[in-house]
Structure 1
Amino acid sequence: MNIIKIYIDKALALVESNKEYLMYEKEVHPEMKSEMNWLTFKQKPAKVNLEQKGAATALLSLISEEDKIWKVIDATIADNDIEKLEFDLKITFPDSYKEYLRYKHFYTIFLDNDIRLYPKPIGLWNQILKENNENMKEILLDRGYLGIGNFSDYGEVCFDFNESTDNPPIVMVDYETGEAERLANNFTALLEKIMTKPEPMVTELKAWEKKMYGVS
């Protein structure tokens, strides 16, 4: 089976199994809104940790009454949609990333606590890619990088078109310094590397953490 589909399906399974902490947004496109009620999860812990060996631990909060659970739907992205975005950004996506874009619509999914590729909801996937890169144009597009996700809270996961335009390596561009650190030789290699790690696991807060966050 294709590595891109394997990655997406595994990442979707992770968030779906912990949907009360990982599968909600303040606003969800009508076609992606789940009818599941937040009351289903009301008795769950208000906060939990998401731990993964070799990556930062993430603190997760329980869904609230104001939040909306999303669901996965088939992708509606056509070749001309991708071509228009490429024209706007003045770049050409590698074939592997085009394949990634064409497979399913979803919000944030991941298998690495540090690496979160951009959400890909229907109607907004292209706007997210375009705005994130144009907002950081000076450190990304102007320097030959195209952002496709976040690395924790201190860097952007990017294609490095300075080295190759057909099959560019993946780098992390530091927000503070602008320096690039190589993460993988290409997009599929990044996904393969991520999948060699043990998956993140939801764990209960330690006693001192519960005290610090004021949860029982």
Structure 2
Amino acid sequence: MDKIIDKYLDEIITLDLNSRPIKIEPEMADKNADQYQEWNKWFPIKSTVTDKELQELEKEIGYKLPDSYKSFLKHKHFYEFYIAECSFCSHPVNTWRVELMKMIFNDYPSENLIETGRIPFASWSDWGLLCFDTTLKCENFEYPIVLWDHEVYDEFQLQYENFENMMIELAQEHEEQRG
């Protein structure tokens, strides 16, 4: 899975898509950039996320996270990361938890998602969110991934067997779209 993450983060940089109109965390910022630019370059860096922080996050959201997703969070920090139609929650070095909590609890009404056992972690095109579905049977908290359409708040469409399979399938889909 790390190879997939690295490949698509490298692609973002190669295509020069690693700029945002926001202040970038110093650890991730372009050291040679003009500080008065409107758009600022960022670069992925090795993650600083700890097991203790992940345990605290799980306690706060009330659900265990899949080990595969925790490995994802512990691999690299980034501002934007997407594969095919999937755009993952921003994961900057010092504010990753704030960004993820915002997606889980504030981006859409929590009574439609986290309070029903669906943990959002990525956007899907302009449709809605990809969520871990804690209500479906799984082994070792490797929950199935469902798509929640923001226009149909009470329906969830099964998308992927689990997070690791999702990453593999997204990479395949992305390569197929390129031709």
Q: CA deviation at 1:35?
A: 2.8
Alignment-derived partner of residue 28 in structure 1: 24
Rounded to whole Å, the distance in 2 between the matches of 1:87 and 1:187 is: 20
Rounded to whole Å, the distance in 2 between the matches of 1:85 and 1:24 is: 28
Deviations 1:83-115 (A, max 9, x none): 111111111101101110100111111221x21
Alignment-derived partner of residue 126 in structure 1: 97
Q: Give RMSD over aligned pairs.
A: 1.8
Q: Counterpart amino acid of 2:28?
A: M
Rounded to whole Å, the distance in 2 between the matches of 1:14 and 1:196 is: 15
Gaps of 5+ in 1: 39-63, 202-216
Gaps of 5+ in 2: none
Equivalent positions of 1:62-141 (< 5 A) are 65-112=37-84, 114-135=85-106, 136=108, 137-141=110-114
Rounded to whole Å, the distance in 2 between the matches of 1:83 and 1:16 is: 32
List, as ranges, runs of 4+ consecutive aligned residues in structure 1 with deviation greater than 6 Å.
none
Q: Is the 8 A contact 1:133 1:147 kept in 2?
A: yes
Rounded to whole Å, the distance in 2 between the matches of 1:132 and 1:198 is: 24
Q: Percent same amino acid among aligned pairs?
A: 28
Q: CA deviation at 1:65?
A: 3.5
2:146 to 143, 162, 171: 171
Rounded to whole Å, the distance in 2 between the matches of 1:107 and 1:143 is: 28
Q: TM-score of the superposition, structure 1-length normalised?
A: 0.74
Rounded to whole Å, the distance in 2 between the matches of 1:65 and 1:17 is: 20
Greater gyration radius = 1
Q: TM-score of the superposition, structure 2-length normalised?
A: 0.89
Rounded to whole Å, the distance in 1 between the matches of 2:149 and 2:12 is: 27
SS at match of 1:31: coil
Q: Is the 8 A contact 2:144 2:163 kept in 1?
A: yes
Return the structure number with greater relative CO, CA threshold 8 A, min gap 6: 1
Rounded to whole Å, the distance in 1 between the matches of 2:69 and 2:102 is: 18
Q: Is the 8 A contact 1:14 1:111 kept in 2?
A: no
Q: Is the 8 A contact 2:30 2:40 kept in 1?
A: yes
Q: CA deviation at 1:168?
A: 0.6
Alignment-derived partner of residue 161 in structure 2: 185
Q: CA deviation at 1:197?
A: 2.1
